[in-house]
Amino acid sequence: EIVLTQSPGTLSLSPGERATLSCRASQSVSSSYLAWYQQKPGQAPRLLIYGASSRATGIPDRFSGSGSGTDFTLTISRLEPEDFAVYYCQQFGSSPPWTFGQGTNVEI
């Protein structure tokens, strides 16, 4: 099973600042199979990034993803008030289980 470790656990920032979130895998993951999600309280997760760097439909360009192998990054270039939420990475490696990271809480 591939374990995804996200850091930091909590990121305290202000609107307008840049957020950098890390996702590290216990073994190499194909870039095609690394996704990022945003979740707000009481809502389902929402797909932000897939294939490590491709934005999902309707996602603003202030969200970007990068990385390969075991190290992946989600960057929010300028935080908007609606971006304060929990962010999860997920891998779709060669075989299940297709695990999630434990999440990073981006708070004001």
Q: Which residue in the set 7, 12, 98, 107 belongs to the binding site for another protein (CB under 8 A)?
A: 98
Q: Which CB contacts under 8 angstroms, 24+ apart, belong to 94-98?
A: 94/30, 97/1
Residue (33 or 77) nearer to another protein, CB:
33
The answer to the question of residue 44 lying near another protein (CB under 8 A) is yes
Instruction: Between 32 and 68, name the residue whose CB sits nearer to another protein.
Output: 32
- Min dist CB 81 to another protein, Å, is 23
Concatenating the DSSP letter of every residue in 31-75 gives GGGEEEEEE-TTS--EEEEETTTEEPTT--TTEEEEEEEEEEEEE
- Partners of 35 in the β-ladder: 90
Considering the complex, what minimum distance in angstroms separates the CB of residue 25 from another protein? 14
The Cα–Cα gap between 83 and 95 comes to: 32
Question: Which spans of this chain sit near another protein (rule: CB under 8 A)?
Answer: 32-35, 37, 39, 44-47, 50-51, 56-57, 86, 88, 90, 92, 96-103
